Amino acid sequence: MTDSTERKLVLNRKDNWDFTFAFLALRLWLGVRALFVGIEKFGAYRSVAQPLIDPSTGQPDASGVMVNVNVKSYALANYAGLPTALKDKFAHEPFLPKFALVAFDRMLGPAFILTGIMLLIGLGTRLSLLAQALLFIALTIGLVLIDQSDGAAYLGIHIGLVAGALLLAEHNRFTVLKRW
């Protein structure tokens, strides 16, 4: 091998690692984003009465005044795939059949959690990226139908990130199943 050929091989190895790290950054970001979007579908705020704390003493106010504080909790009973305000708008959209809306609402959170975990551990990376792209496309269709252009544009950015990750997927070195 000549010096020039050896340099090209070294440069190609460096470039491949750059692509690997670029893919890993996208994979981790999309995985964490999907996981926490899914988890947030199980979150809800509830109002809890607590005694007012006197800032000077750090003790409860002597007059016994209570204040309502919103506390966030996560539970299966809190699940809401689609926010109530959007669900009401979708319910009045004739293009969306009720059964499809109910099915989509129920599967949205678990689908995001599943694809997020798959991306984070590298299990079926291409399939989980494709599933996320389909979720983003379905959400985009819904937002276009209820005239929420800002949300649709925001989802377009996510589609671009998924597409970029799919283009870099051949450089996925840290994975459980490389082929998928």
Q: What is the mean pLDDT of the chain?
A: 86
* Statement to judge: residues 134 and 166 lie in one domain: yes
Model pLDDT for residues 102-132, shown as the tens digit of each residue? 999 999 999 999 999 999 999 999 999 999 9
* Statement to judge: residues 71 and 123 lie in one domain: no
* Statement to judge: residues 100 and 130 lie in one domain: yes
* Statement to judge: residues 102 and 74 lie in one domain: no
Name the domain count of the chain: 2
- Cα–Cα distance, 165 to 54 (Å, whole number): 52
Containing domain of residue 67, as a range?
43-78
* Statement to judge: residues 68 and 119 lie in one domain: no
Q: Is 122 contained in some domain? A: yes
Q: Is 134 contained in some domain? A: yes
* Statement to judge: residues 90 and 170 lie in one domain: yes
The model's confidence at residue 86, banded by pLDDT at 50, 70 and 90, is confident
- Tell me the mean pLDDT in the region 7-16: 56
Claim: this prediction has a pTM higher than 0.85: no
